[in-house]
Structure 1
Amino acid sequence: MAEQGERVTRDLTIRYVAVLVVLGILALLSFLAVTDSLSSAEDGLERVSLVGGERALVARVAFAANRVAAAEAEADLAAGVTLLGTSLDAFERDRSALIAAVRGLPPATGRESGEELAARLDRDLGRFLDLGRTVQRRGHGLGGDDPALAALSDTAEGPLLEAFDGLDQRFRQVSQARMREMMALQAAGLLVALGVLLVSAFGVFHPMVERLRADFSERREAESALRDSEQRLRRILEESPIGVSVSRRRDGRIVFVNARFAEIVGMKAEQILGAPARDNYVDETQRRAVLADLRRDGRIDGAEVEFRRRDGKPFWSLLTIRSTDFEREPVNLAWIYDITERKAAEQQILLAAKVLETLNEAVMITDAANTIIFVNPAFTRITEYDRDEVLGHAPALLKSGRHDPEFYQEMWQTLLHRGSWSGEIWNRRKSGDLFAEWLSVVVIREPSGLVSHYVAVFSDITHRKEDEAVIWRQANYDPLTGLPNRSLFLDRLSQVVGQARRESKPFAVMFLDLDGFKAVNDRLGHAAGDELLQQAADRLSGCMRASDTLARLGGDEFVVILQGIRGRDEPALVARKLLDQLAQPFLLDGHRAEVRGSIGVALFPEDGGDGQTLLTRADQAMYAVKRRGKNSVLFAHEIAESPSTAEAV
């Protein structure tokens, strides 16, 4: 029966659609025909109006020409010429439109064709226009008996007016013919439409009446099937793994719950049935909010609502509500899903996010491709990069350029092998300033072992590094002259000795003492003595190469390491330069002071194979210079080994 009903319905639909299509086509054809007729009629009226306009322009041209001929005053003449010019311009503008309209006239029995009529009219109009331009050009010289004026008037009163009258009549006849065609088409379309409706009345509506008779029996069968369907729906809801409840819309009381719903709220189904649905909410505020959304949208989709169990403990639920009919009564069908554990996990995530937001250490997370996906505010505070400026980029944008590729290669090898890496690294802020950081990186892996993320935590240790640098400088450099002190000098001397042993390269150690410094210090004071030492250090530094080392051991004693020498000539030459620089007068706060220098030189490996021996030998040579008269240079091998020398040292 249902298949037969579908078939009848389908046939009725096809027939009904066919009737509508036919009527639509007829209406469309009728509309197109009427539109074409109306358009043609409108074109005819426009042509009639165009003819009338040209007729009026011809009369105005003739009037303006006669006004020019009759003008006596200069002002009247100028006004006439102006009127004549504007009239001729308008006449010339409409001329082409009129000629085109005449060409489009349909052929008529015993009459000229549109092309012939247009050619003749164009010649007449052109001649009239030429006469008008001639009258306009003559102006003052125009008399009442002027041939051009006479010809203009004759043309305006004779041939042109007759031509315009003929065109007006012909255009009107064409318009009337179009209107008659339109009326005929309308009548024919109406008759055809009435015929189609009469035929469809029996072919469409008669089967529909028969179908209505069958509907009553089908409805009874459908009601029976609906009851069966409701029973199946009840069983499906009962077995659903999600909590389901049905409450009447008129009073809000629960009429159905499944086992999962009862399990979630911690009650038996019998205790829930008949109770108001509002009792499940933690508070009235939430219930009213849900009710307002339901009235506004007609549904609830995945709302997070807090319910209460039987023991009074609240729990979070994901609530979905649909309005439907259940057992022939409007109800609200609700699904609830316990998300208490998920909410607790979200709270933990939120707490972790808050911790990351408040950390003083910068946190940067990248994906497996080493693309930045998260940074905390401390990252922005340290690097000066905003979050949006780094997301989607690689951490390489922070590179300072102070580390070679081998450094990063070793770091990545350690990171991937051990799962973590920690150490000091130099990076660059957005402003371009370098900063030192203590960086810790860990690898986050999936259960399969594949890398999913990298987490980097770092803190700015630039100030600590700067403090360490200051402490190191204070420990290794003379605060007065800025030269390396004894500690740093001995360290460098040890390094130079080791390099010289490996590469068999000689070097020299020079020990220099200022002669006359104590006298200046006593005469001008300690401040002047300090200034003298500073100036002497500057002069001595000017004689040094980049590979050489100049240091102050203390007091007025200086030492030099000369690398890359060949024999004794180079140390002797440098020593002489140093003495020459010291021999120049010193200007100390307006006072002139003079000092000299005594230099002892020891060569590696001739005078010693270690740093301490070389320094001692150079010191001995320097004291030997002082005993011999000062202001000179002496090599260690040039002094006699004697007890007296040892005692002097």
Structure 2
Amino acid sequence: MPSSPPFRGLERRRRGSCPGGSPAAVPGGWTAPRLLKTPARLPLSPAGDLPAAMPVSLAQAARELLKLAGLAGLVAVGCWVSTVLTPPDGRIASVWLANGLLVGLLLGMPTARWWPALLAGYVGNVAANLLTGDPLDLALSLALCNGLEVILAASLLQRRWGSNCDLRHGAVLRDFVLFAVLLAPALSSLLAATILSEHSGLSLLGVLSIWFPADALGMALIAPLVLTLRQGQAAPSRPQLRRWLPDTALLLATALVVFGLGLGRWLPLLLFLSFPPLMLMVMRHGNRGAVVGVLILAVFALLSLMEPGRSADAWGGLSPQARALLLQCYLACASAMALTVATLLEQRQGYERELQQALRRLRSIADHVPAYIGYVDRDLRYRFANRHHRNGYGLEPEGMIGRGVRELFGESTRADFAGPVQSVLEGHPVHFERSARELGGEVYQRVDLVPDRDEQGLVAGFYTLVLDITEGKRAELRQAASERRLRMIADNLPVVIAYIDAGRVYRFCNRTHGAWFGAAPDDVVGRHMERVLPPEVIEAQRYYVDCALHGARAEGSFSLQLGGQLRHVQVCFVPDRGEGGVVRGLYMMMSDVTLAKRAEQRLQQLARYDPLTGLANRRELHEHLGTALNRIQRYGGSLALLFIDVDHFKAINDQHGHAGGDEVLQEIALRLRGAVRSTDTVARVAGDEFVVILEQLRSSEEPQFVARKLLAAMGKPFVLDRGMLQVGVSIGIALGQPGDSADLLLRRADRALYAAKDGGRNTSRVAD
């Protein structure tokens, strides 16, 4: 049916208009224009902080304007190509190339350079519309519709993917179809239909049926080609070109048969004969093959559509509009199928590369772990072994594959593993220690066997982890926990390990957690912390949990009652950050440091108290004496210092030996403690020298009374293993007053002690 005048104007618009845009690069080496070139290095202002003004020469400006003019010409050429590809007797441009071309080009340049390029493209679009006979107002309006379509499609893809708009990724292809093929052409066609219905009285649905299919098809055909050429892949080598030739020739021959024979009413069915060679190109050449193959089919389809000598009978009696719609559907199916399959293939190849890389990493990790790691199937034959077998047993990992345990390690090793292997094949993890007699010498190993279950839950084999614990075995009394420091599996670590999400709900915990708090891991996962841990534990670690959930690593220690015993616990809480730094949860680690705490307390005890008598030592005495003198200096009062020395102690040692002397010293310590108040301090400062600090004296005679009491206590016979012994002591007394120093008081008491010895021993004297 011949076109009415208004539809011929619309046909010219579809053949000659194009939205504004600016390419980054097109085949043939043409480069996208810019208004001004940005210099590689900007000069600084005299202040040294802001760039100074950069003069632009007339030659540079002229070159930029020439590039913009070239862009406008490219837009006009794109419109002309679409016009040429329109059937002579039809009203529909079967495919609109310019918009897809410009979307691909805009995505290849920075957004800051879009507007000059869009202006040049808009000028070229308007010029093309005017040349095809559109009035000025209609030419401006239709060019604006095209420009908005390009801007919308490019902006949405740029905002969503930035510079990573690679159609080989499924998510990018999905967004490309949604934004560039469907949404942008739909909005552009709706706006154009409204303009043309008001301007020329055309049917709204009629314009939509003309505008949308051609724009969507052009976008689906041309934009992937431009984006593929922008991926920066190396040019094909000669061997690669030779691989392309037979596939391309097959597709060309098929297209020639389908479109060149004029098979009339069978043509719609024969169109799909081109899909197998198209899929062959996709399978062999990926995304590039898909783009090239679809373009070949598009060229043949459009040439057959515009062929002037072909009658309607060659198309099975279809009208020009029906022919165009048929080819649009055909090319849309070909493009969608080829790009989808190519994307899936690219993803599969990517997954395979990642899998191989992960396997190489795991192999490298296993080879560098100082342990024997392997995998054994149900027939007890090795399917994997790490490099450590070469170092320990002299076995090459590759030579172990397919061989049995008895063949590799001997009958004694097989006997050691018989029971554990039976247990692990029944589905139970096994942990045991053994003496590796096959290695010679005193070698101890710790063995972990972990079952491997298939999809049906059946045990298909087991993993082996064998660690050398010889040093730990020999030093078993030093630390029991250090023997298990090499455990790889969290369930076997002597540390509470758990993962708790941001809602303070357990998502993981190990078996040690259950041993501490009496709940199996399966019963803990999914429950809130306050429903799992005792209240005193919740309160003790609340500060650390809050810090970790706010993004800070928290470490500390506290004491709590577990299992009826006081335990000292060291904790570490590490935040787990997701994308954007948001804290998704925390890792909790708790270790029992009770033994270390007790050892620390014991060291402190040894540093301050005499190990033989249990009395304070010289260091503790000086601290107590200094504190007592400070008290009387601040609050008043007095104190006394009694310096005590055992008479003839050397003779005791000579007669009864050092063991007898130690018994005498221990008995003297007991009698001294029993003769003074609990608030008084008794210390041993040398071999047979003792000091007593008397505080809160009620009178100046009280120290002498205490000295007489001590002499009476020492006057009782000492019962030793070798018999009875009479022991005497001499006592020097010094009274302390506010302002006295510890050294001064000790010297005065020492002089009084020597006065007592000079006075006949077994007596006391008061310092002047």
Structure whose CA Rg is larger? 1
Q: TM-score, normalised by structure 2?
A: 0.35
